[in-house]
Amino acid sequence: MALIHRTTLKPTKVELLAGWLPTRPWYRGSAAPEPVKAGGFRLDDPAGEVGIEFMVVTEESGAYLVPLTYRGAPLEGADHAFVGTMEHGVLGTRWTYDGCHDPVLTAGLLALIEGRAQAQAQSLTDTPDHEVARGYEGESPLPGLGAPVDTDESTEFAVPDTGLVLALRRVLTPGSTPPEDAVGHVTGVWEHSADTRTRGLFAALRPH
């Protein structure tokens, strides 16, 4: 169970993402975005070492899903996925990574889809997020995920020896639902505007 600390972060998460988003192939906005946190959820690391968050941010070009991991030391071999460091008021320096390249997050995502893990509220300790919906109709356990490949809308992973691919949506579409041939999925909710919340597809597991 991850413990949520009420403390400071310098820079903040959205400040860190403002410099990182324009470097992504799926980002559609300007070179100087002003992202706003609009939703998302957490997963617990069974080992209790890594922070796992699926953050939704919005800005003028749309809504984006940004999976992040927070570590107390650099992740070996993941320089290409490094987002930046933050100074946490309790935990000290936190190394932040694009979670699609972090095996702790990808294992957690598969566990969520299969129903072996529970989505957690972003800002509350030991509080399930019941707005996150998931489903799975295949055989368990899934063997893991291959290397991530970015497209202009998603990050995709082959699932070895299954003929399946997991597409994690980066560009979110309000009202989107799992495709008809999906054998697994995750949907979630975010703030679409000042007074409107919307649900959309976060991830789909389907035949390649």
The tens digit of pLDDT for each residue in 40-85 reads 999 999 999 999 999 999 999 999 999 999 999 999 999 999 999 9
> What is the model's pLDDT at position 3?
56
> What is the model's pLDDT at position 6?
64
Q: What is the mean pLDDT of residues 145-149?
A: 97
Is the pLDDT assigned to residue 8 strictly greater than 80? no
Is the pLDDT assigned to residue 161 strictly greater than 80? yes
Residue 157: both structure tokens together: 């992973």
Q: What is the dihedral of CA 142, 148, 149, 155, to 10 degrees?
A: 80
107's enclosing H/E stretch is: helix 103-114
158's enclosing H/E stretch is: strand 154-159
Sequence-distant (≥ 6) Cβ neighbours of residue 132 within 8 angstroms: 41, 112, 119, 186, 187, 188, 189, 202
Is the pLDDT assigned to residue 126 strictly greater than 90? no
> What is the model's pLDDT at position 90?
73
pTM of the model: 0.94
Q: What is the mean pLDDT of residues 3-8?
A: 64
- Determine the Cα–Cα distance for residues 42 and 85; give it in Å rounded to an integer: 19
